[in-house]
């Protein structure tokens, strides 16, 4: 399973929305349910799913899912 597929599963579970699909351009602004609390859930779940740790500066610099995927893959 590739990174985008795994993120799609994570997003659909967290946002309880099967229409959310991880694409490089997807951002929090595109998902109505993506608020500050769900953002924390996304980060924690991503860290657990991929066995990585993300720093606050890394997280705060992310602007879309494509950047998140690049960051995840750089730590893999």
Q: pLDDT tens digits for 66-76?
A: 999 999 999 97
pLDDT tens digits along 4-56: 999 999 999 999 999 999 999 999 999 999 999 999 999 999 999 999 999 99
- Its pTM stands at 0.94
pLDDT at site 52: 97
Q: Which CATH number fits domain 3-75: 2.40.10.340, 1.10.1200.10, 1.20.1250.20, 3.40.50.150?
A: 1.10.1200.10
What is the DSSP annotation of 8-76? HHHHHHHHT-TT----TT--GGG-TT--HHHHHHHHHHHHHHHT----HHHHHT--SHHHHHHHHHHH-
């Amino acid at each position: 399973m590739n990174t985008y597929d795994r993120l799609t599963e994570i997003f659909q579970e967290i946002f309880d929305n099967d229409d959310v699909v991880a694409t490089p351009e997807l951002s929090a602004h595109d998902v109505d349910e993506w608020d500050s609390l769900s953002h924390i859930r996304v980060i924690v779940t991503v860290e657990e799913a991929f066995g990585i740790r993300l720093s606050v500066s890394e997280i705060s610099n992310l602007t879309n899912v494509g950047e998140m995927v690049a960051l995840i893959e750089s730590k893999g």
